[in-house]
Amino acid sequence: MELRQLEYFVAVAEEQSFTRAAERVHISQSGVSAQIRQLERALGAELFDRSARAATLTVAGKAALEHARAALASAAAVREAVGEVTGLIRGRLTVGMVLGCTVTPLFEALAAFHRAHPGVEISLLEDNSDRLAEAVRSGAVDLALVGTATAAPEGLEALTIVSEPLVAAVPAGHPLAGRGRVALAALAEHPLVCMPRGTGIRTVLDGACAAAGVRPVIALEAGAADAVADLAARGLGVAVFSASMAAAYADRLTALAIEDATEPALLALVWRPAHGPAVREAVRRCRRAFAAGPA
């Protein structure tokens, strides 16, 4: 029994397909099939039911799966432990980033990490903040840049990158354009354009409205700040942003302080308390990059 056979077994079990598993482990389908057959002969039992279109686990396969995963995790831990004491970091680093957020220091940190540790495969994905935080908790993502309403999301360690108030943003000629400030009750008299549920800004807005007893009309939702700004500039609603986001659209929109939205919107880097050397080194690089500010 070899570790690569266990790796292929887990890949087929999770993908439910020999073809997709072969793509995942970067060898031919026939190679995966041959290694699984060798593993089955060594164990004396078939691990997959091959009679259906999908590769489904047999009873023996189900019994073996968690042990195979544990064996692979243990082998990875051995490599990480040795790498940590020798200064060599290998493996994979999955980084999440909130949708529509282009934060230059994060990219600078990842570039510095890659130069220092070329043996680590880096992948970057986008999603909304709630899903990214949950993916970090589950271990599917190693660290993520998320919008949040709390300094430390439950069960995670965090580094706050940005903390700033919410603002409303309106085009010239809008009834609110002449004001420097606006209360939530007055804001709720107009349709709003904002980020969807699951984003940090929306969580802060919903919390502020609930505290003030206000029920705004969310006319339109968009996951990207550019889209929110474009919709508001065309008169389809009042945009709700963080202060720095609104500043990027000052040529089209006028920002108004929301006087009774007192909780700040936060942008934070989050990771699990239990993590390996790759995450620890990536966090260190991020701390340095964010302290230096935009390049």
What are 122's two structure tokens? 């880096």
Residues of the chain below pLDDT 50: 86-88, 295
Cα–Cα distances in Å, from 26 out to 22, 23, 32, 197?
Answer: 6, 5, 10, 37
How high is the mean pLDDT of the chain?
Answer: 87
- pLDDT tens-digit readout, 223-260: 888 899 999 999 999 999 988 888 889 999 999 999 98
Give the contacts of 45 (CB within 8 A, at least 6 positions apart).
Answer: 58, 60
B/e letters for 235-257, b = 16+ CB within 10 Å, e = fewer, are eebbbbbbbebbeebeebbbbbe
Output the pTM of the full model. 0.61
Q: Angle, nearest 10°, between helix axes 18-25 and 3-15?
A: 130
End-to-end CA distance of the chain: 50
Amino acid at position 18, single letter: F
What are 114's two structure tokens? 């890659």
d(C-alpha 47, C-alpha 39), whole Å: 9
* DSSP tag of 195: P
Q: How would you class 48 by CB atoms within 10 Å of its CB: exposed for 0-12, middle for 13-18, buried for 19 or more?
A: buried
